[in-house]
A and B are shown apart, each in its own frame.
Chain A
Amino acid sequence: MLRIAAVLIGLIFATAAGAAPLERDPTLRGLCGNAAASGEAADRLLSATPTLSPDDLAFADAAIGGLLSKKLVCPAAPTDPVALKADTGAVDLATGAPLAALPKGKAPVVSLKNRAKFERLAAALALLAAPNAAARAAALEVLAKSAADVPADLFAAAAGREPDPALAARISSVADLASLYGTDIDKRVAAVARLAEGENRRVLTEIEALRADPAYASEPAFAAAVDAAAAKVSGAIAIGNAAATLYNGLSFASILFMASIGLAIIFGLMGVINLAQGEFIMIGAYVTYVVQEGLRALLPGLLDWYLVIAIPFAFLVTALIGIALEASLIRHLYRRPLMSLLATWAVSLFLINLVRVGFGTQNLQMETPFYITGGIAIVGDFIMTWNRLFAIGFAALTLAGTWFLIRRSGIGLDIRAVTQNRDMAGCIGIPTRRVDMLAFGFGSGLAGLAGLALSPIYNVNPQMGTNFIIDSFMVVVLGGVGSIAGTVIAALGIGQINVLIEPIWGAVAAKVIVLALIIAFLQWRPEGFFTVAGRRK
């Protein structure tokens, strides 16, 4: 109790006098206390930050950082020092002196409420003392989210010592936010304008609440500022929502496209329904996993790039399995498409269980490399997530590659010829058997690539392929068998309609409605959007 009083007195003194040293030990004991004591200590530390000496700032940073990363050890015995685990041994946090042994104790578990405080505190410390400008800018963003809970003099102090003039200006503008609920009407108007810079729904909620403010009725300038801000933010949100819908639709479409392009080629060329296509997707994902584990064991430095390195492996392995399947089974069934349907279902059953026996049923642990983590806020509430962008980009590249191969290469010419008229192609000397085999391999390889692209988005387990098969058939049939353009358009259409319906009636209803629409469409136009001129199947 005495100690706390001492800290309080010390703090009052510190704020008044400017630069009194921090009472380190009581602060640490407070942080080590129960949730309430720990929260109070954090509050006091936060209000003291503007006046701390560089030395104390470093100490506070180490303490809070240690707490959040669980390197801080609170001793079981009150006489032992609060320690920080270091790479070698431990240090007494209050004095910075190395310790012979880590005291008995444990890292405190941070409650949710305190975690928010500690994160704010860590940001405040970073804003004041972080050596690089990017870290300070990031810290400012964290603080701007809850500017009202940050002591006003913190921003003043930070702006004062900020060497980068642009960042200093941004700090001052965030500081303006604090005067939103002040009395000076000019400052309030400026604060409203500043607030409107963060174009999201949370800001809109806050701005709309200002309409209940007495100043809204009495001060026309304030009212105008609030109205303008509300209009600006809601406009941005509307654009953001539209962009988000488009983006979600596009990302779903890219998944559909990846899953169905291989099928489109196989079905278009041979009229074979390959129900094992989903399992090729699954195998592609497993190959990606094996490559990841291989890199982890052999070249850990390249681990983050496993998604890129795995591309040839995923393609080749699934293509080879596809070729083997064609040569051993499908080849015998070209004249019996319904039987090929049953046979490929058997293959899918076989592959699922083979993988299940080999790898087990649990979800595989796929690393999430930095380039597909998180996202970037574009406008309004629209966040462009990197993993979806990766899938979209991957689908675009696959499309380009497929298009090139089919339209511009020799084998592509053969494939098109056989698709259009098998007998005639055979007559002019195209080895139709070999073309079939290669095309089946190519289609399977594309499914393998789909597995690779989907592995960071979906759970990778033996069952994963079964989720795609009906959707991808719908895309192929709707697009028109064997047409790349049709597959693209069908995927885009299905993806977008799904995303439009989903928020209204839910995900399942969206899927059912889309399926019903496709079935109805096929009654009207059984060939789909595009028909490839040639033999009818």
Chain B
Amino acid sequence: MTNFTRRSIIKAAGVAGAGLVLPLSAPNIIRSARAADTVKLGCLFSSSGTMANIEGRLNFVVKMAADEINAAGGVNGKMIDVLTSDPASDWPLYAQIGKQMLQQEGVAALFGCWTSVSRKSVLPVVEQSNGLLFYPLHFEGDENSKNVVYVNSPPASSVLPAVDYLMSDEGVSAKRFFMLGSDYVWPRTINKQLKGYFASKGIAETAWKEEYVPLGFSNFQTLVNQIRAFADEEGGQPVVILTCVGSSIPDFFREFINQGIKATDVPVLGLDVVEADLEGLDTAPLVGHLNCWAYLQAAEGPANEKFLADWKGYVEKNAVPYRADVSIDPMVSAYDSVHLWAMAAAKAGSFDVPEVTKAFDGLSFDCPSGYKIAMTAENNYVSRGVFIGSVNEAQGFDILWQSEDTPKPVPFSPFG
């Protein structure tokens, strides 16, 4: 009943062959229309999948920063052209697109990744093609690649101060710790370092508990029951150290509210909680819970005022599908990244990665956080300020404590 002729098969093979050849050669055809006097930067932030909700906005921040630099005349006489894509929250796809951007598009630097998993998958690609990746998230540390600029803080200079605060008399004199995290490298490493830290403070092993949930987990009923049971045992003030990420954060808080636990009973230190995570929540019952970052929207100073106004203007002008009045640390870190790169490239007078890397030593930039952030020749880390925030009624954070200065980043934790 099927009458496939030779001709039909040849045609099919021909169609498929064209399908194979065309796409592979096409990217160059399409993108080569751009002017020659530009320098390309690439973004690796997902605008679909589980991370899209928070990660997608960073694409626009990078573009905004590039616009700003272009308006001031560009870098080394060239205009910046930002390439965006969509790795779709699929870790191997980050590597694939990163490879394409570095090897096919010849981008001068990549800005990207939120989760540590995505960074780990891009890392070999960046190292093999000797590219440069600016990573705007605070992370687990214990890594120091010459091809990655770690714009945000490793745990020793962000998490430990916050835990210290909780343990101090000024905080809540925390004695017992419920560590709840998403099951991947960042929470695991943070908790490993915290346990080392607790042990060094002479805290008994019975005083902490560790639980992991899969990424994207939402049904926290049983776990919040467990937290209540843990809190009611004897041994002193309990706290929750929350290292869940993404959509699990609002889900967790919703259940926390519904079971009637207040910050004054069991405070939550949400290490990855940003203003954007509170967007869909009524935060009145959450007032007092804590987070810690290198930037909070409530930071004072003209640099932040300017950043917030610029972002608002950019969102309104370009109809960006994110809120104009919410600004989070990774946004500011991405913004800093572009400026740091531009300053280094201008200083080096070149876009070559080794030259740019050499120029990092001694760079400093007025970050919207109000601190003067700086880099040294010692490593590719950036020294940032530290904020501890306290949730307020208006879906934001009040600044409860902030560091005097920018502590020197410690890439490798002594408590691992």
Q: Interface of A with B (CB < 8 Å)? A: 35-36, 69-70, 109-113, 115-116, 119, 200-202, 204-206, 209, 244, 248, 251-252, 353, 356, 360-368, 373-375, 377, 381, 383, 385-388, 457-463, 467, 499, 502-503, 506-508
**CB closest chain-B residue, reference A499:** B222
B225 at the interface (CB under 8 A from A): yes
- Interchain CB contact under 8 A, B221 and A362: no
B56 at the interface (CB under 8 A from A): yes
Q: A252-B219, A502-B222, A508-B214 are in contact. Are A112 and B172 (CB under 8 A)?
A: yes
**CB closest chain-B residue, reference A39:** B170
- Interchain CB contact under 8 A, A112 and B258: no
> Which residues on B sit within 8 Å (CB–CB) of A387?
254, 258
Q: A115-B263, A375-B258, A502-B222 are in contact. Are A362 and B229 (CB under 8 A)?
A: no
- Interchain CB contact under 8 A, B290 and A112: yes
- Interchain CB contact under 8 A, A248 and B53: no
- Interchain CB contact under 8 A, B279 and A205: no
Nearest-Cβ distance from residue B242 to partner chain A, whole angstroms: 15
> Which residues on B sit within 8 Å (CB–CB) of A366?
280
Q: From B217, B251, B257, give the contact of A373 (CB < 8 A).
A: B257
A289 to B257, CA, bound (A): 22
Q: From B171, B234, B255, B281, give the contact of A205 (CB < 8 A).
A: B234
Q: A112-B288, A201-B229 are in contact. Are A385 and B258 (CB under 8 A)?
A: yes
Known: A70-B392, A507-B222; 11 extra A-B contacts, CB below 8 A, are A35-B170, A110-B288, A112-B263, A112-B288, A112-B390, A119-B262, A252-B219, A383-B260, A459-B218, A460-B280, A503-B226
- Interchain CB contact under 8 A, A109 and B398: yes
- Interchain CB contact under 8 A, B232 and A112: no
> Which residues on A sit within 8 Å (CB–CB) of B53?
361-363, 461
- Interchain CB contact under 8 A, B216 and A362: no
**CB closest chain-B residue, reference A203:** B232
Interface residues of B in 243-298 (CB under 8 A from A): 247, 250-251, 254-255, 257-260, 262-264, 267, 276, 279-282, 287-288, 290
> Which residues on B sit within 8 Å (CB–CB) of A205?
232-234
Binds A, one of B20-28, B43-51, B199-207: B43-51
Nearest-Cβ distance from residue A55 to partner chain B, whole angstroms: 29
- Interchain CB contact under 8 A, A458 and B232: no
> Which residues on A sit within 8 Å (CB–CB) of B262?
119
A467 to B217, CA, bound (A): 10
- Interchain CB contact under 8 A, B264 and A112: yes
Closest 6 CB pairs of A and B: A360-B321, A361-B52, A201-B232, A202-B232, A116-B264, A385-B258
- Interchain CB contact under 8 A, B214 and A383: no
B386 at the interface (CB under 8 A from A): no
Which of B53, B233, B398 has most A Cβ within 10 Å? B53
> Which residues on B sit within 8 Å (CB–CB) of A70?
392-393
Nearest-Cβ distance from residue B254 to partner chain A, whole angstroms: 8
Q: Interface of B with A (CB < 8 Å)? A: 47-50, 52-53, 56, 169-173, 183, 211-214, 216-219, 221-223, 225-226, 228-229, 231-234, 247, 250-251, 254-255, 257-260, 262-264, 267, 276, 279-282, 287-288, 290, 321-323, 390, 392-393, 398-400
A58 to B218, CA, bound (A): 44
Q: From B169, B258, B282, B322, give the contact of A362 (CB < 8 A).
A: B322
Q: From A115, A362, A375, give the contact of B264 (CB < 8 A).
A: A115
Nearest-Cβ distance from residue B41 to partner chain A, whole angstroms: 23
- Interchain CB contact under 8 A, B172 and A113: yes
- Interchain CB contact under 8 A, B247 and A363: yes
A353 to B88, CA, bound (A): 12
Which of A109, A374, A462 has most B Cβ within 10 Å? A109
Nearest-Cβ distance from residue B256 to partner chain A, whole angstroms: 11
- Interchain CB contact under 8 A, B288 and A463: no
A10 to B5, CA, bound (A): 107
**CB closest chain-A residue, reference B282:** A368
A385 to B221, CA, bound (A): 10
A375 to B258, CA, bound (A): 6
Q: From B48, B183, B254, B322, give the contact of A356 (CB < 8 A).
A: B48
Q: A200-B232, A366-B280 are in contact. Are A374 and B267 (CB under 8 A)?
A: no
A507 to B52, CA, bound (A): 24
- Interchain CB contact under 8 A, B264 and A119: yes
- Interchain CB contact under 8 A, B250 and A363: yes
> Which residues on B sit within 8 Å (CB–CB) of A458?
218, 251
**CB closest chain-B residue, reference A387:** B258
Nearest-Cβ distance from residue A46 to partner chain B, whole angstroms: 15
- Interchain CB contact under 8 A, B171 and A111: yes
Nearest-Cβ distance from residue A211 to partner chain B, whole angstroms: 12
- Interchain CB contact under 8 A, B171 and A113: yes
22 A-B residue pairs with Cβ-Cβ distance under 8 Å, sorted by A, are A70-B392, A109-B390, A109-B400, A111-B170, A111-B400, A112-B400, A113-B171, A115-B288, A201-B233, A205-B234, A248-B221, A353-B48, A362-B56, A362-B323, A363-B250, A383-B260, A385-B221, A387-B258, A467-B216, A503-B226, A506-B212, A507-B223
- Interchain CB contact under 8 A, A381 and B229: yes
- Interchain CB contact under 8 A, A363 and B170: no
Nearest-Cβ distance from residue A320 to partner chain B, whole angstroms: 26
- Interchain CB contact under 8 A, B264 and A374: no
> Which residues on A sit within 8 Å (CB–CB) of B212?
506
Q: From A209, A248, A361, A368, give the contact of B47 (CB < 8 A).
A: A361
> Which residues on A sit within 8 Å (CB–CB) of B288?
110, 112, 115
A467 to B214, CA, bound (A): 13
> Which residues on A sit within 8 Å (CB–CB) of B172?
112-113
A457 to B250, CA, bound (A): 10
- Interchain CB contact under 8 A, A112 and B251: no
- Interchain CB contact under 8 A, B258 and A373: yes
- Interchain CB contact under 8 A, A112 and B171: yes
**CB closest chain-B residue, reference A381:** B228
A92 to B259, CA, bound (A): 39
A388 to B219, CA, bound (A): 11
A341 to B186, CA, bound (A): 38
- Interchain CB contact under 8 A, B56 and A361: yes
Which of A251, A377, A503 has most B Cβ within 10 Å? A503
> Which residues on B sit within 8 Å (CB–CB) of A353?
48
Q: A112-B290, A361-B56 are in contact. Are A507 and B219 (CB under 8 A)?
A: yes
A204 to B233, CA, bound (A): 9
- Interchain CB contact under 8 A, B214 and A113: no
Nearest-Cβ distance from residue B376 to partner chain A, whole angstroms: 33
Q: A251-B221, A461-B53, A507-B219 are in contact. Are A112 and B267 (CB under 8 A)?
A: yes
Q: From B171, B214, B222, B228, give the contact of A248 (CB < 8 A).
A: B222
Q: A111-B400, A209-B234, A459-B251 are in contact. Are A385 and B280 (CB under 8 A)?
A: no
Q: From A110, A202, A386, A462, give the contact of B258 (CB < 8 A).
A: A386
A459 to B288, CA, bound (A): 23
A252 to B218, CA, bound (A): 12
A460 to B254, CA, bound (A): 13
> Which residues on B sit within 8 Å (CB–CB) of A461?
52-53, 247
A459 to B52, CA, bound (A): 13
A204 to B234, CA, bound (A): 10
Q: A109-B398, A205-B232 are in contact. Are A362 and B279 (CB under 8 A)?
A: yes
Which of A202, A459, A463, A503 has most B Cβ within 10 Å? A459
> Which residues on A sit within 8 Å (CB–CB) of B214?
507-508
A497 to B223, CA, bound (A): 16
Nearest-Cβ distance from residue B143 to partner chain A, whole angstroms: 27
A200 to B233, CA, bound (A): 11
> Which residues on A sit within 8 Å (CB–CB) of B219?
252, 507
> Which residues on A sit within 8 Å (CB–CB) of B222?
248, 499, 502-503, 507
Nearest-Cβ distance from residue A472 to partner chain B, whole angstroms: 15
A367 to B264, CA, bound (A): 25
> Which residues on B sit within 8 Å (CB–CB) of A506?
211-213
> Which residues on A sit within 8 Å (CB–CB) of B393?
69-70
> Which residues on A sit within 8 Å (CB–CB) of B321?
360-362
**CB closest chain-A residue, reference B166:** A112
Nearest-Cβ distance from residue A476 to partner chain B, whole angstroms: 20
- Interchain CB contact under 8 A, A374 and B48: no
Nearest-Cβ distance from residue A112 to partner chain B, whole angstroms: 5
